[in-house]
Structure 1
Amino acid sequence: MTLHKEGRKILFFSLIIFVGVFFLFEYALDTPTWVNNAVLVALIVLYLVILQFFRSPKFIINKDEKHVLAPADGKVVVIEDTEEQEYFKGKRKQISIFMSPVNVHVNRSPISGVVKFCKYHAGKYLVAWHPKSSTENERTTIVVETANGVEVLFRQIAGAMARRIKWYVNEGDMVEQGGEFGFIKFGSRVDIYLPLDSEVKVNIGDKTKGGRTVIAELKS
């Protein structure tokens, strides 16, 4: 287990602030010893909580051109046929994965291929399960085309708590299945849009592991 680069600055400044708060209570304020001890425990717990937000596990990725891997750790909250209006402008099969604050927040490419489309949208910060979060929240839309010409769209969506979306790809880039393409600080949601004939391999409520769980199989 390693720490993700997105957490280094936050962890560094958090440590400085927490140490400052502890010394304030310990030496500057006339507070009882039990209060100082309670503050110390609370600061340690809070720092460990922030620390776990930025863990980045290492593992072997089993690549398969027909498989669509989960782009994130989390829980499957949507499986439905829907209209995707930004890029495809037509019907696609949607799978959505909700990332809670306790999940790993690294986002991984569900397939290998070429990035055909990449766009960032500023927006609102509705809760991630709100029906309009996919179209109104801060988000990125990325489309990757496989070697067989199949296009898969995946979208990072910020929520009420997650307001820091990071992405590391641009149009024309080659991405590897399971490779890291982005990060959403403190969780949120990722939507995947697949061809209608794709075979879904998960159910509502299933837990997923980014880059490991097979969520669908491409038929094209």
Structure 2
Amino acid sequence: MTMLETFIKPMHPEGRRFVAIFAGITIILFLIWPVLGWIGVGLTIWCYYFFRDPPRTTPTREGLIVSPADGIVSLIEKAVPPPELGMADVPLCRVSVFMNVFNCHVNRAPISGRIMAVSYRPGKFFNASLDKASIDNERNSLCLEIADGRQVAVVQIAGLVARRIVCFVKQDDSLRTGERFGLIRFGSRLDVYLPDGVVPLVTVGQGMIAGETVLADLLATEPARTGRTD
């Protein structure tokens, strides 16, 4: 990777009109007062950076579940998947990844499988780091059936600032591990519901990279991991 590639990342097409709007406002701000214009330049660069879509190197070994989002693991707990997905009404291990406004917001499939259900549900806009966000906030839920017949749910949740969930896929589509399936604009959260008996290989507070960080392993027999912060 060159020095230029380190700082300049590809931008997702979803962001083009937003960057254009920010740039247009910046021109007007320069006409009003140059100081405001330079503030607009900074915000335009941030907008481009928000919609960046860098390539990721996804591990391909069978059984690996990867993080669907960049961010921090904010919660790990037992919870029932969203009822609109039609999954069994039993608590599963839920791993929540919180994205702030500086994280890459392109979402990637946690594991390969066929989409059995996609369901959008309007809701509120509480802080996405709160537990009640999984129940009350606007969300878009996917149920993936993997090769052995088990199911993994991944849920896009809008947050305090986010107001738009974008999903690129539909029912009966097939996804590969790490493949892009959506994004959420301006801060939000992703929940992954692991199959029964599967434990996470990450801990609360751990940094995650979408499509790269291994979140769980269907073939692993080790107990759930613990961690420390130094």
Question: Shared fold by TM > 0.5?
Answer: yes
Match of 1:135 in 2: 135
Aligned partners of 1:41, 1:15: CA distance in 2, in Å?
A: 11
Does 2:39 match 1:11? no
Q: SS where residue 55 of structure 1 aligns? A: coil
Corresponding letter in the other structure for 2:169: V
Stretches of structure 2 that go unaligned for 5 or more consecutive residues are 1-8, 221-230
* Mapping of residues 64-83 of structure 1, within 5 Å: 64-83=61-80
Q: Is the 8 A contact 2:82 2:141 kept in 1?
A: no
Q: SS where residue 81 of structure 1 aligns? A: strand
Stretches of structure 1 that go unaligned for 5 or more consecutive residues are 26-35
How far did 1:85 drift? 4.8
Q: SS where residue 16 of structure 1 aligns? A: helix
Q: SS where residue 36 of structure 2 aligns? A: helix
Structure number with higher strand proportion: 1
Report Cα offsets for 1:7-53 as digits up to 9, x if no partner: 0011112111110121133xxxxxxxxxx3x2232121111111210
Corresponding letter in the other structure for 2:162: A
Q: Using structure 2 for the length normalisation, give the TM-score.
A: 0.87
Aligned partners of 1:82, 1:119: CA distance in 2, in Å?
A: 18
Match of 1:121 in 2: 121
Q: Is the 8 A contact 1:75 1:206 kept in 2?
A: yes
Larger-Rg structure: 1
* Mapping of residues 1-220 of structure 1, within 5 Å: 1-25=9-33, 36=34, 38-86=35-83, 87-219=87-219
Aligned-residue CA RMSD in angstroms? 1.4
Identity value in percent? 35
Aligned partners of 1:157, 1:100: CA distance in 2, in Å?
A: 13
Aligned partners of 2:161, 2:91: CA distance in 1, in Å?
A: 30
Aligned partners of 2:111, 2:125: CA distance in 1, in Å?
A: 28
Q: Using structure 1 for the length normalisation, give the TM-score.
A: 0.91
